[in-house]
Amino acid sequence: MLLIPCPWCGARAQTEFGYGGDASVGRPPDPQQLSREAWLDYVYLRDNPRGPHLEWWYHAAGCRRWFRVRRDTLTHEVLVSAPPGEAIEDGSP
């Protein structure tokens, strides 16, 4: 079982969390101006990286907060977690 370290509650079983997607993809700055095709690309087209990757997680069965996790997609090792807006070990905001 995967243990995910919630920044507020500590390490908990993966079953307590909901996966929120790729945290390295930013929301379009002006969504009202995007074409339908651009929205489809934003919502559905994602890379499938191998190695460390930044993800959003939601602690549904705990504090009910969103946070970011850097997880290795090859080994599933969770490297670090942090609240939104707080820097993660490689210096990314």
Could you tell me the CATH number of the domain that includes residue 57? 3.30.2270.10
Considering the domain boundaries, does residue 88 fall inside one? no
Considering the domain boundaries, does residue 55 fall inside one? yes
d(CA 46, CA 40) in angstroms, rounded, equals: 11
> Which of 59-81 are b and which e, b meaning 16 or more Cβ less than 10 Å from the residue's Cβ?
beeeeeeebbbbbeeeeeebbeb
pLDDT number for residue 90 = 64
What is the average pLDDT score of the chain? 91
Residue 84 pLDDT greater than 80, yes or no: yes
Structure token digits, residue 25? 């993809």
16-60 confidence digits (pLDDT tens): 999 999 998 888 889 899 999 999 998 898 888 899 999 999 999
Considering the domain boundaries, does residue 92 fall inside one? no
d(CA 23, CA 66) in angstroms, rounded, equals: 11
Structure token digits, residue 42? 């934003």
